[in-house]
Structure 1
């Protein structure tokens, strides 16, 4: 870690900002399916709401990364949190107006897409990108970088558990309790970042750091990485199928809780939040405690995790009690908690030091694309038949399991990560 980073380590503030934004996003997920039912909107409208947010996240993450180099991490964080506050406040107001009957459900959905999906989707691209960029700019060894990125990943996993759990608790205050709480916690994070995050160096220092980065980029190979790169496509394919299944399934759980299990209104929000909380806790446990102790190579993680994802999705086709739905989602979460670390780490073993940044961007793009397709596809399939999205997800993962078990994985031939060069000081 650079001397500047050691002098004022903003990691706790960065991690806290990521936690708040991701938890705020997760806290309102249990509300969405009951909200769609209350407004008499079709299932695909919920998928469109989630997919459009994923589109904005995927499209804006790279531009936010470039903005970090130009204006610094602090400015990007404040900009992202400000957009998130505006987006979530607007979303809460729109939801209140729609539920009260002041505006129609159709107009409400259009405004929800503009606030929650477009504005907040852009904000979600800014905050974790700035945090990860700080780690990349202030670590000089592979071990330091992996540790820092693991902290950001663990915070995001923790948000998957805390967000639905907070939604479960806040639903006792009313149907839209989680929706109104989200902008409040984002406002708190915005103030904390403005007060606690150290200001960056002068414009001249930032310009010098940017010049060094441009020289390093000029020395690196200019050919962009693609998902079909001969070194990477098997890993990309395995990760894509697993995350696509997750996207297909997660959007439909709220509908299953209502249609198959019979819960309504705030009860549906609480039960969906309970299921989501279990999923988040299982994934955090796998990624933070179990997988690091197993010491498995990445391809073995894929071989072990993908069949479990298929098993969980298959069980959801017939699960007809809250216990069974929760158990199936827990099995799926164990699988994803195993697949995820393998999918993220394998590509870094397959490219050289000059391509590490681009391969990280490629992984994020592939993952984001699954949540552009999955929620919309899952909700549309559910509208045809309530077991269809789970059957499609099962089929995808069965094919993926056959694929990873019948070929020698690229990660099995990789020995150790290439040594990382000394990186430029923190430009923020």
Structure 2
């Protein structure tokens, strides 16, 4: 009997989803690992270049601002120029930004460029150009996760895999960057743009419309963040990521002050804390969330209380093992809740708006990396406990919205639809 025109079986559909996502997951993993290569060297490099802590903070904050602004633009571009061109454009900007950053740093270390000019060019290369380019990768991956899935469970699993790819980069990148920095501070800076360039060449050679699905074109305005269906869900995500940003930026100060450690001991202790949290995060998002198959509300309502308990423990932790336990618990809680957030907004918009909604989701995440580091350090100067308690309050607000918001409850009754016959129809490249 002919099967033409019939929807694919669940096993076949899952295979097609994985096939659509694999190129995007590889792209996210590589480019975010290239970014994370720089994490161990930014502070010592800034000292060598005679940049202040405030100037380094501005480099990071401006990069987050560029990512926040660019993300919705990449979401709209997916509908207009297609997945492949968005990937290549984003990787081109990322490669150019990291190449320029390495060149500026090399000239600054050689004393051939004055410090004010070094700082200005870092803002242009590492912050604006790279920040705008790297935003394209998670936007594209989340859009494909939205268009290549036909049920809430599939979509939650797919968005969890995108988060897991970013989590793996947070484990691999700093470890590799630290090892390279032991030989030279410039080695991670040289390797990062090479990785982005190789990835761009791989995308150019291998990624075609049949290999990776993209959002279909749509007419009319895209979803707006103030839409009553969306703003509570985006606010939940903002609070979740804000809580992470508040404590992530102060972990070094917290470890040094509570354990009374020197710079080298602090770096080693922070490495233990973040590595443990990264491993837990990858395990939860890459394995536990797909295996559980929970709906988005259950993920949000289960993960948020665990994160609240983690912040409560962190507020009273006075030993390395307790701080590490608190961050592992935080990774467990946010590892459950965050895939619920990233999937939830995709459930209340049309399939043809998945590119646009992925841009809004990524912009929401980027905004927290503008606010979180600046607010966390400012609050820490007032009292070391305040940023932790603020983070606890942010997750509590997210939990309240997850229980009380009509928009959150609406995700329980939304039917996910897809074009008949395939999980997603690939868009023609133009």
Mark the CA change 1:225 to 1:38 in structure 2 (over 3 Å): closer, same or farther. same
8 A contact 2:76–2:355 mirrored in 1: no
**Residue deviations 1:355-383, cap 9 Å, x none?**
55544443333222212211222233344
The reply on whether 1:141 has 2:153 as its aligned counterpart is: no
Which of 418, 421, 428 is the matching residue for 2:419?
421
Q: 2: CA distance between counterparts of 1:231 and 1:337? A: 24
- Alpha carbons of structure 1 residues 323 and 170: separation in structure 2 relative to 1, 3 Å: farther
Q: SS where residue 421 of structure 1 aligns?
A: coil
Match of 2:234 in 1: 236
> Is 2:261 the partner of 1:262?
yes
The 8 Å contact of residues 298 and 411 in structure 1, kept in 2 or not, is answered as: no
1:184 matched to 2:183: no
Structure 2 residue 246 is the aligned partner of structure 1 residue 248: yes
Pair 1:354–1:315, CA change in 2 (3 A) = same
C-alpha separation in 1, matches of 2:81 and 2:402: 43
1:82 aligns with 2:80: no
Measured after TM superposition, the shift of residue 243 of structure 1 is: 0.8
Q: Note the C-alpha offset of 1:392.
A: 2.3
SS of aligned partner of 1:64: helix
Match of 2:224 in 1: 225
Equivalent residue for 1:376? 374
Aligned-pair CA distance for 1:118: 0.8
Partner of 2:3: none
Aligned to 1:124: 134
Partner of 2:341: 343
| CA-CA distance at 1:306 after TM superposition | 2.2
Preserved contact between residue 156 and residue 293 of structure 2 (Cα < 8 Å):
no
TM-score, structure 1 normalization: 0.79
Aligned counterpart for 1:64 among listed residues 74, 90, 102? 74
> Which of residues 160, 166, 170 is equivalent to 1:156?
166
Kindly indicate whether the alpha-carbon contact (under 8 Å) linking 1:235 and 1:343 is maintained by their aligned counterparts in 2.
yes
Matched, 1:27 2:28: no
Closer/same/farther in 2, CA of residues 65 and 351 from structure 1, 3 Å limit: closer
Q: Distance in 1 between matches of 2:173 and 2:188?
A: 9
Shift of 1:124: 0.6
Note the 1:308-387 alignment, pairs <5 A: 308-317=306-315, 319-351=317-349, 353=351, 356-387=354-385
Number of the residue aligned with 1:396? 394
Q: Per the alignment, do residues 332 and 46 of structure 1 end up closer, same or farther by CA in structure 2, a change over 3 Å counting? A: farther
What's the TM-score once normalised by structure 2's chain length? 0.79
- Residue by residue, what CA displacement relative to the aligned partner does 1:245-286 show, whole Å, maximum 9, x if unpaired? 111222222444556553436x76555444333222211111
> Is 1:55 matched up with 2:65?
yes
**Superposed CA RMSD:** 3.9
Q: Is the 8 A contact 2:96 2:129 kept in 1?
A: yes
Whether contact under 8 Å (2:233, 2:341) holds in the other structure is: yes
* 1:366–1:253 distance in 2 versus 1, CA, 3 Å: same
Secondary structure in 2 matching 1:289: helix
Where does residue 205 of structure 2 map in the other structure?
195
Q: Is the 8 A contact 1:47 1:377 kept in 2?
A: no
Deviations 1:60-93 (A, max 9, x none): 1232334344444333323322221221122233
How many residues are matched?
A: 410
Matching residue of 1:276: 274
